[in-house]
């Protein structure tokens, strides 16, 4: 990669960091649950609501990109994200948090749909998968820092205007503003290579077997991601008797391992086939989820949560890049469909919340196990469809 491309990529990577703000919803929902005395099903509405907007906004965002360009769409997403981070600074009522998480979901739907194809204007070919993976590494840094910031604020780390754990919204809001200025000042040559697709034509791409399988694969990936984010602390509270503040460390373990997995994957994907990396990743998650169903010691729980993070680290960029490479002339439309697959972040938490209320956290883990089994199946289809 040339020096110029590296300089252009820096503000894009800062946007990937901002993209990771959506993962704060997992730990935030646990704090709101505690403060407002909500049930698991009620608390799981927050992550479900965040990812519900991916269903409604992904395809329109793909159409919007064809009109105003990818960079401008990313800038719009950053503005919406900033507003979502601003709202919780004014209170913590149920309605206000629902509004904040809704805007966070809308902003992230805009961002994920437009930012990933924007990378293809900077790098291309074999480097695309590894670059998207490195972007996920940067995104994961924001994800694992969120519970640490929240716990720090909750324990009196920086008592500003009574924000407690909500200090993370203030910190991330400042970073979002920085991302707006950095990307605005960066010239990016957007070569128009897309065949414009309307709403119906975009959805029609799901008739392609691989696109449909990839769509479901994204659903399962984000279901495991959001599910672990919300369930890991509850497992520590239920099995090991931890308080929420100490149990939130489990979420950081997940994201630390996911971050390391992204960094490792960005190198391995330059040497090994994506299908091989995906196969190992799916098997790691499958084994770890079986471990969460059968093991009860604190150490074993941490190991299993870490393995899920490691296994889930490269799933999204592999699936996304494979789908883009199969449909290069319809990159915006394919990107929209893949991001619409993040609706799994709505479906899985709702199913997990109902299952955990019925039979305990094992029910939530069992739902994620189904997703891991599908990913084991999906990796066998790469190269065959």
Instruction: Supply the mean pLDDT for the chain.
Output: 85
Please say whether the beta carbons of 18 and 175 come within 8 A. Answer: yes
| Residue 187 parent element (H or E) | none
What is the Cα 17 distance to its own chain's centre? 11
Instruction: Please check whether residue 65 is in contact with residue 113, taking contact to mean a CB–CB distance below 8 angstroms.
Output: yes
* Residue-wise pLDDT tens digits, 279-291: 999 999 999 999 9
3-state secondary structure string across 298-363: HHHHHHHHHHHHHHHCCHHHHHHHHHHHHCHHHHHHHHHHHHHHHHHHHHHHHHHHHHHHHHCHHH
Average pLDDT of span 97-124: 87
Three-state SS letters, 80-100? HHHHHHHHHHHCCCHHHHHHH
pLDDT at residue 32, as a whole number: 84
Lookup: tokens for 256: 């630390």
Structural contact between residues 314 and 281, judged by C-beta atoms closer than 8 angstroms: yes
Contact 171, 149 (CB under 8 A): yes
Predicted local confidence at residue 216, as pLDDT: 94
Q: What is the pLDDT of residues 62-77, one digit of tens each?
A: 888 888 888 999 999 9
**CA pair distance 120, 332, nearest whole angstrom:** 11
Q: Read off the pLDDT of residues 228-243 as tens digits, 9 standing for 90 and up.
A: 988 888 888 888 777 7
DSSP state at residue 218: H
Percent of the chain with pLDDT over 70: 93
- Residue 81 confidence class, pLDDT cut points 50, 70, 90: very high
- The C-alpha atoms of residue 104 and residue 85 are separated, in whole angstroms, by 7
**What confidence score (pLDDT) does residue 230 get?**
82
Q: Does the pLDDT value for residue 124 go beyond 80?
A: no
Averaged pLDDT, 258-264: 87
pLDDT digits (tens, 9 = 90+) for 209-219: 999 999 999 99
3-class DSSP assignment, residue 144: helix
């Amino acid at each position: 990669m040339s020096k110029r491309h590296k300089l252009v990529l820096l503000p894009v990577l800062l946007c990937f960091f901002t993209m990771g703000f959506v993962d704060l919803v997992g730990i935030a929902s646990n704090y709101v649950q505690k403060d407002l005395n909500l049930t698991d099903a009620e608390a799981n509405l927050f992550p479900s609501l965040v990812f519900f907007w991916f269903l409604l906004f992904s395809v329109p965002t793909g159409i919007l990109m064809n009109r105003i360009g990818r960079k401008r769409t990313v800038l719009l997403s950053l503005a919406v994200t900033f507003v979502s981070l601003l709202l919780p600074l004014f209170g913590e009522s149920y309605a206000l948090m629902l509004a904040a998480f809704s805007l966070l979901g809308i902003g992230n739907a805009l961002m994920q749909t437009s930012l990933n194809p924007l990378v293809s204007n900077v790098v291309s070919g074999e480097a695309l998968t590894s670059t998207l993976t490195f972007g996920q590494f940067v995104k994961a840094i924001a994800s694992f820092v969120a519970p640490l910031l929240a716990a720090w604020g909750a324990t009196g780390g920086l008592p500003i205007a009574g924000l407690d754990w909500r200090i993370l919204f203030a910190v991330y809001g400042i970073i979002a503003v920085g991302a707006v200025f950095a990307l605005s000042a960066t010239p990016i040559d957007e070569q128009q290579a897309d065949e414009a697709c309307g709403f119906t034509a975009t959805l029609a791409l799901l008739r392609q077997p691989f696109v449909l399988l990839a769509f479901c694969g994204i659903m399962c990936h984000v279901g495991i991601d959001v599910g672990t984010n919300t369930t890991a602390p509850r497992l520590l509270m239920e099995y090991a008797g931890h308080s929420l503040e100490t149990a939130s460390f489990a979420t950081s373990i997940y994201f630390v391992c996911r971050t390391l997995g992204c960094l490792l994957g960005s190198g391995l994907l330059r040497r090994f086939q994506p299908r091989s990396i995906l196969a190992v990743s799916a098997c790691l998650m499958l084994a770890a989820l079986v471990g969460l169903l059968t093991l009860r010691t604190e150490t074993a729980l941490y190991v299993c949560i870490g393995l899920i993070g490691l296994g889930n680290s490269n799933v999204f960029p592999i699936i996304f890049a494979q789908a883009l490479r199969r449909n290069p002339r319809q990159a915006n439309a394919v990107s929209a469909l893949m991001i619409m697959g993040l609706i799994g972040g709505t479906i899985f938490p709702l199913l997990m919340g109902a299952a955990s209320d019925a039979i305990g956290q094992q029910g939530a883990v069992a739902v994620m196990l189904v997703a891991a089994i599908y990913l084991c199946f999906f990796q066998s289809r790469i190269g065959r469809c």
